[in-house]
Chain A
Amino acid sequence: MSVFGGLTGFVLRRVLGAVATLFALSVIVYVVFYAAPGNVAQITCGPRCSPEQLHQVAQQLRLDDPLHVRYWHFLEGLVAGHDYSTGTSVEHCPAPCLGVSYQSGRQVMSIITAKLPVSLSLVAGAMVLWLVLGVGTGVLSAWRRGRTSERVLTALTLAGTATPVFVIGLVLMIVVCGEFQWLPFPQYVNLTDDPEQWAWNLLLPWLSLALIEAAAFARLTRASMLETLAEDHIRTFRAYGVGERSVVGRHALRGALAPVIALNANNVGSAVGGAVLTETLFGLPGIGQELVHAVNVVDLPVVVGMVLVVGFFVVIANTVADVLFAVADRRVVLA
């Protein structure tokens, strides 16, 4: 059995596992939410809805079907898409169809795709910031370990971890946008419309989210660096008179990068969780804000769709991380 073949097998198993996980996730999420009590038809139809209207709404939403039939229908839609009636016309919901919102009558997939750019902008920008901040702080505090500056940095990262994002964000906004007016109050601008305004408006949300996430990276980087610095080959470098800057900056940092990448790849779920809070606070029209809205009006198709989409990203990220590490590991073994 070739090494490569073994790797392919591993990758295949991982991907199949991911598919199975996603399928099971969809079953669990669907059942948990749709089996919950609550008169969905009444909520959708609104106050002062006549019994006939109520019946019609229930029929339109297929609420009278048993759960497994509805799940099957949902799965069909996911794979093949399906048609539904809007009253005036029959609409097609193309695969992957996550259903149609109870509240707005829009397709869940199109709601999510409309909101996704905002959340991606938020998370991507924040990710750059938290990597820079986190790794930078980590390197610095590893390098300066034992000194006052390291203790200050450690305290700062702890502070970042221990302050809720909604407090940091609000205080930042009041101070930066309200008191000093250094930045505009964040308001989402499409990247394609005006990249400069896009970045300018997102700076504060990025910072709020990044401050909190950065702490984890700082701790991890510092720890890995300290470990690497203690390793034999680093001692050898030092013995050979390689400059301290070079030792820390190049060799030790390189060793610390792998776990940082791993943490980052596995951070998708957490980042989306943080994005829910950040979007809610700053009023950014992303999927987090939409989810909070959907939860409040019990718009189950949207809730289920969003949970599944986020779960999808988490599973994909985990799988990619695993595969990357399998590849990296082989190299290590082969080397």
Chain B
Amino acid sequence: MSEVLAASEAAATDVSVPAAPGARPFWRRLRAQRAALVAAVVVALLVLVALAAPLLTALEGQDPTTYHPGLIDSARGGVPVGSFGGAGADHWLGVEPQTGRDLFARLVYGARVSLGVALAATVVQIALGVTVGVAAALGNRWVDQLLSRLTDIIVAMPLMIMSLALLAIVPQSFPRPVLVALVIGLIAWGNIAKIVRAQTLTLKGLDHVAAARLSGWGAWRIARRELLPGLAAPVITYAALLVPTNIAVEAALSFLGVGVKPPTPSWGQMLTAADVWYQAAPQYLLFPAGALFVTVVALTVLGDGVRTALDPRAASRLRVGTGRKREAGAETPDTAAGPRTAGTDPRPRTAGTDTQPRTAGTGAEARAAGTDKEETA
């Protein structure tokens, strides 16, 4: 499922967001979208719950590891005693079958692992993607060739399959959540590197960057002062959509038995243990599934909102055309004069397919455009 998410998010992500708008208009535009606002509140709450997990469980008077054998019926496979999975004043969401551990405590501690792994993986992906993308765009032909090839290889590695295989061979002494985050981060940075490279090439051709180059600034200074601010928008947009993908990947890997290991509670881990309890103790499955669902939906909606807020010009079609023509041009020596800019391409939707495998770049933008129209209509 996870990669599917990657696809959907990539499909919906454009690579051609121009330089970042000011912070204030960004917030204004984000606030203008009701759905995104609600999503932002939900995400903030989730993060808060994860951070305050010890506090919340203390409030409940439980912890995620203590067994309560008295609350389960051993002869019936350890199903919780009482209705609603033993929910009540002591155990707000009831207890886990077979162990009697407190479900609420496990859920909120699980949020820490699930969100933590996903965020850490995203950080690794962005760090790698931005570094490789910028280096490829600013480096000479050989550097670009080498890094672009490397990116191609990374993109060709099926995330699910590689991480499944990798996680199985790394020694178990390695802390598991860190490992899962690292593996996801190390395998799935190809798309973001492609986006960043394309965007950097675009920015490089812009006047003020060219001016900076002519005035003899070093590559590092240019990258820091002129390029990184311009990269912020697409990177933030992409990151907002990577987080839910990574949450889903972690869950899927746990399902296949190579993710975070018990007793560490993660949502994926809980789902894995719970899915057979669907009939006997439905709440055991429904709570982690619901939490995962809400998180992924909220993050996705928020990601959409962020993109819309960052790219208001999408609606007015003043876009920087991206995509395979320019990309191909950049790769072709005889036309490598430099990237063409701005919406000269009559069919921008065919663009982006090269810079961004499995994404037709325009999709997202068009969607953003649509959203904008809706909001203003």
A residues in contact (CB < 8 Å) with B: 10, 13, 17, 20-22, 24-25, 28, 32-33, 36-38, 142, 145-146, 158-159, 161-167, 170-171, 174, 212-213, 215-217, 219-220, 222-224, 226-228, 230, 255, 258-260, 262-263, 265-267, 269-270, 272-274, 276-277, 280, 291-292, 295-296, 298, 303, 306-307, 310-311, 314-315, 318, 321-322, 325-326, 328-329, 332
Instruction: Please list 23 pairs of residues, one from A and one from B, whose beta carbons are closer than 8 Å in the complex, sorted by A's number.
Output: A10-B332, A21-B149, A24-B149, A24-B153, A33-B165, A161-B8, A162-B292, A162-B297, A162-B300, A163-B292, A164-B1, A165-B252, A174-B278, A212-B4, A213-B7, A220-B360, A228-B366, A259-B11, A259-B349, A259-B363, A267-B358, A326-B324, A332-B350
Residues on the A chain within 8 Å of B264, using CB: none
Contact of A17 among B149, B168, B369 (CB under 8 A): B149
- Pick the 9 closest A-B CB pairs, nearest first: A259-B360, A273-B160, A266-B358, A227-B366, A216-B8, A223-B367, A270-B3, A226-B370, A162-B296
Complex interface: chain A residues within 8 A of B158 (CB)? 269-270, 272-273, 307, 310-311, 314
In the bound complex, how far is the Cα of B275 from the Cα of A146, in angstroms?
Answer: 37
Are A17's CB and B152's CB within 8 A?
yes
Measured between beta carbons, the chain A residues less than 8 angstroms from B360 are: 220, 224, 258-260, 262-263
Q: Complex Cα distance A33/B164, Å?
A: 12
Residue B293 is within 8 A (CB to CB) of chain A in the complex = yes
Residues of A within 8 A of B373 (CB): 226, 230
Residues on A with beta carbons closer than 8 Å to the beta carbon of B300: 158, 161-162
Give the size of the chain B interface in residues (CB under 8 angstroms).
Answer: 79
Q: Least Cβ distance of B129 to chain A in Å?
A: 17
Bound CA–CA A306/B164 (angstroms): 12
Q: How far is the CA of A8 from the CA of B300 in the complex (A)?
A: 41
With A32-B166, A164-B251 given, is the CB distance from A170 to B275 under 8 Å?
yes
Question: In the bound complex, do residue A145 and residue B370 qualify as a contact, i.e. CB atoms below 8 Å apart?
Answer: yes
Taken residue by residue from 229 to 262, chain B's Cβ proximity to chain A (1 for < 8 Å, 0 otherwise) reads as 0000000000000001000100110011110000
Distance between Cα atoms of A110 and B218 in the complex (Å): 56
Give Cα A12–Cα B124 distance, bound, in whole angstroms: 34
Does B275 contact A270, Cβ atoms closer than 8 Å?
no
Are B350 and A163 in contact (CB-based, < 8 A)? no
Which single member of B1, B156, B293 contacts A277 (CB below 8 Å)? Answer: B1
